[in-house]
A and B are shown apart, each in its own frame.
Chain A
Amino acid sequence: MQAHLDVRHLRKSYGAFTALDDVSFTAAPGEIVALLGPSGCGKTTLLNLIAGFLTPDAGSVIVGGRDIVNMAPHKRDMAMVFQNYALFPHMSVERNVAFGLKMRNVASDEVGKRVQEALDLVQLGNLGKRYPKELSGGQQQRVALARALVVRPSVLLLDEPLSNLDALLRKRMREEMRQILKAANITTVVVTHDQEEALVSADSIVLLASGKVEQSSTPNELYERPSTIFSARFMDVTNFLDGVVIGHEQGNAVIDTAFGKLRAEVDSCTIGTKVTVAVRPENIAKGEEAGENCVTGEVISSSYHGPVRRIEIEANGARLIADIPVKRCLSKVGDRLSVSWPADDTRLLPGQGHAPVDGKNLEDMLQ
């Protein structure tokens, strides 16, 4: 039965290298939480700690009210889908899926029934007698999912479940997987490095960087309102302008930047703080009527991206990238161009300069 997962203050180091530093998050019963981050951020270590394959230096893993941090993996009533699926090559699909049920001493007629149900759920109902090596990558992935779902674990763990599939299949499986998981109503933790995958599959996202939680919120929140430069960068925000807060009027902060005075929607701010103004290229429109923020600069590059032209304008040493619909864009390099966007599409982020992205692979090697 699905349970409440509560991860508290987990810490894990390997010698001088800290893989996880005081990481906490919760998952409500039936909720799908994505652990998102670049490689080396600690997300897989975190998953392995929850599963019990690693023991933390400090912290607890509480499932349904009980701290199981010292419990062996096979007693935790969890299930896991591995990145390479880890299907038992010497067992048929049916026997693979039945494995967890056998370990739980479920009666054999019950086993047969539930195995068939699980296979039907992932649409592999008639492939029960086949062996893993006879299946395609996508089919193997579904068998791995069925094997995990059939035992009705209290917590389901998925380690980059789609990353071994080709791009097209991955897109299709994302939504299908979410539907299956929601129908099964199991507390789920998914590890992924693909932000689009997290946005589509999860109810809430925990963004990790260098072993720490950078931001923990709903997909919408994370996408629209990243709270740090790292989060914004990870979610593909590409415009960052250094600025200083000089005022607050009508629910917007006024920031002085190289492009002039810009307005960003915030509840409150302190005058004089050094900040970063962030805005997505797709929110910037040609012309001066699209919002409170209006800037003019010289076009320094212009490239074709299918539905839009990506225009880069410069003024006073700062640059701004705007994605303008092709039909509306006639600018060439050297032209002067005015663009504008609304204050509520503008984010204010603490600090200035580039957020470092640690991409250590040591963490991956140590698992």
Chain B
Amino acid sequence: MTNYIIALVLGVFFGFSLNKAGLTKYYKIVNVFRLTDLAVLKFMMTALVVAMSGLYVLRGLGMIHFPTVPSTYIVGNLVGGLIFGVGMALTGY
């Protein structure tokens, strides 16, 4: 139950950050692919850098164990990514 409350609260902050970054808008998503507005890239990479620093520090301190890391299967990941990009550039989601 507590786990679900955590999920709900974290979800609210997740949605809030997406909204404030403008990632809920079509033109923001598609313009990153037109290379005219790199907000999506800046948003994603900042999130990555902050999260990976935090996670690796916490793991170094022994406070967390990593959950199951998404598995790597090169062809699947790449083909999935290639199809995903088409959908993303079309819909702007």
| Bind each other | no
Interface residue ranges, B against A (CB under 8 Å): none
